[in-house]
Amino acid sequence: MPYPTAEIIKKVLVNTKIFKEPESDLREFFHLKTTGKEAFLFASYGRCFSDIFYLHDESFALAALREEDILSLLPPLLSIRREYLQEFGHAQPVEPRISYSLNRQETLNRIFTEDKYVVILSPAYSHFRKDIADTTLRRYEKDNIKSFVKQIDEVYKFCNKENIHPNNVLIYTLSNAPDKRNLENATVGENFYEYLAGIVLREQKYFVTKRPFGPMMVSDDIYAYKDDGFRNGAFAVEIGLGLGDLDISEGNTYEAVYIEAEPTRERATKTSNEHGIGQIKKSKVYGYYSGYYVCGPFITDRKEWENLAGDIGAISFNEQGEIIFIPHKNCESEKTKLTLKDCLEYVQLLKKYASHRHSMHFTCEMKTTLYHA
């Protein structure tokens, strides 16, 4: 199969050991369960536009900030765009941004510390519009939006019935497969694979970030850094918000890793310059990174991959949702040390911002996503 189904994605998330099955009496509406912190990281790194958001009330939803927002707002906590339902997922909102303040103690502690249930839904819109007849697209999206709103309403009513706070429910909407002949083929986009790569590498004591150091390679990708003095791994967002830390001592071995995420096996294994293996080989000329990974679905044959990709590693999963890890071959250089030095300065800046947030009284500025007309 070219695209993983929702059931496979669910199994992959469970196999990260971060998500688990919810209680049996709640499985009618909820597909997964995790901690508040891990849900926030999933919502931050795994989302595209409004693909992942928290329920809030009958009219509004809340979404986690992206890493690039951390240092641009003081204090940044949650960042969301307000849109009418008819504009759900489009790049431009129909209303200007508005501020929405929530009490830190009551709401933010709930967001960050209380367990979350995850609901996986089909998309309400299509990212892929090329070569699709306008009438077909309009009819498809109109029907999907109605269905999407109905599902959201049902989940919200179920929360009220079970006395579950809406903020403790995370809605994960799948993307449309990039195939104009099959609009109903719902799957996940590149953001999911960036998040998956980050989770796998964090477990191996890497610092995971969207920020490249050294020359800019490819925009909006994900990177991982470590030396053998790191005692744990962390995402940049969890450090910047004070949800986690990076325990560092001086080490002797350095790694700076670039990850190329692809939504299909076909793109992941391409050797042309635009995608996958070829994209990485084009980027290697800079020399600031000591290792490279491709993350995408169904890379299951290690020998075949190594023959095709050489020293490039792979992070993937099979049709049973079992995670597959093929390590890269590390090629440390003096440039790698410079890259890691810049990375450690960024980590210290994130820690400083987290310290400031905990030492001052503030409210949280938010933008909001309107999902119920």
pLDDT digit string, tens, across residues 182-224: 445 568 889 999 999 999 999 999 999 999 887 655 556 899 9
Residues 306, 311, 317, 323, Cα dihedral to 10°: 120
CB contact at 8 A, 33 and 175: no
Q: Report residue 70: phi and psi, to 5°.
A: -60, -50
Q: Report residue 284: phi and psi, to 5°.
A: -65, -20
CB contact at 8 A, 137 and 129: yes
207-209 and 175-176 beta bridge pairing? unpaired
Q: Please state the pTM of the whole predicted model.
A: 0.85
Take residue 91 and report the two structure tokens written for it: 């790049």
Length of the chain, in residues: 373
Q: State the Cα–Cα distance between residues 261 and 277, nearest whole angstrom.
A: 10
Percentage of the chain lying above the pLDDT 90 cut: 42
Take residue 79 and report the two structure tokens written for it: 């960042």
For the stretch 228-253, pLDDT in tens is 889 999 999 999 888 899 988 877 78
Contacts of 188 (CB under 8 A, 6+ apart): 4, 9, 174, 175, 263
Contacts of 17 (CB under 8 A, 6+ apart): none
